[in-house]
Chain A
Amino acid sequence: MTANSAAPATARAAIKKRRSSSPRRLILGVAGIITFLLAWEIAPRVGLLPARYLPPASEVLAVFAQDLGMASLWKAVGDTMLAWVIGLSIAVVAATVIGLVVGMSPFLRKFTNSTVEFLRPIPSVALIPLAVLLFGVKLESSLMLIIYASFWQVLIQTLYGVADVDNVAMNTAKSYGFSYIQRVRDVVFPTVWPFLMTGIRLAAAVALILAITAQLVIGSPGLGNEISRAQSGGAIAGMYALILATGLLGVLINMVMRFIEKKTLGWHPSVRGEVVV
Chain B
Amino acid sequence: MQVLKQIFYIVALPLILIGLWALGTSGAKNFFVPTPALLAERFAATWFTERIFTDVLPSIGRLVTGVLIAIALGIIIGLLIGLNKWLRDFTEPVFEFFRAIPPPVLVPVLMIIMGINDSMKVAVIVFGCIWPVLLNTIEGVRSIDPVQNETSRSYGIDGFARVRYQILPSAAPQIMAGVRQALPIGLILMVISEMFASSSGLGFTIVQFQRSFAIPEMWSGIVVLGLIGVAMSFIFQFIERRILRWYRGLKEVENAS
Contact = CB atoms under 8 A, between A and B. Distances in A.
Decide if A and B are genuine partners: yes
Interface of A: 24-25, 28-33, 35-36, 50, 53-54, 110-115, 117-130, 132-134, 205, 208-209, 212-213, 216-217, 224, 227-228, 231, 236, 239-240, 242-243, 246-251, 253-254
A248 B96 CA distance: 10
Contact of A216 (B86, B92, B107, B229): B107
B188 interface: yes
B232 A121 contact: yes
Nearest to A209: B102
B90 A32 contact: yes
A114 B10 contact: yes
25 contacts: A28-B89, A32-B94, A110-B9, A111-B13, A114-B9, A122-B226, A123-B184, A125-B188, A125-B191, A126-B191, A128-B207, A129-B206, A129-B207, A130-B32, A130-B210, A133-B32, A133-B218, A134-B32, A209-B188, A216-B104, A216-B196, A228-B108, A243-B109, A247-B100, A254-B96
Contacts of A236: 112
A16 B45 CA distance: 68
B226 A129 contact: no
Contacts of A50: 113
A28 B94 CA distance: 11
B17 A115 contact: yes
Nearest to A240: B109
B3 interface: no
A125 to B, nearest CB: 5
B103 A129 contact: no
Contact of A239 (B32, B109, B196): B109
Nearest to A229: B108
Given A213-B102, A217-B192, A129 B13 contact: no
Given A130-B222, A227-B105, A231-B111, A121 B11 contact: no
B171 to A, nearest CB: 18
A28 B81 CA distance: 14
A236 B113 CA distance: 11
Given A126-B226, A130-B210, A231-B108, 8 more contacts: A28-B90, A32-B89, A114-B14, A122-B226, A123-B187, A130-B222, A216-B105, A250-B99
A247 B195 contact: no
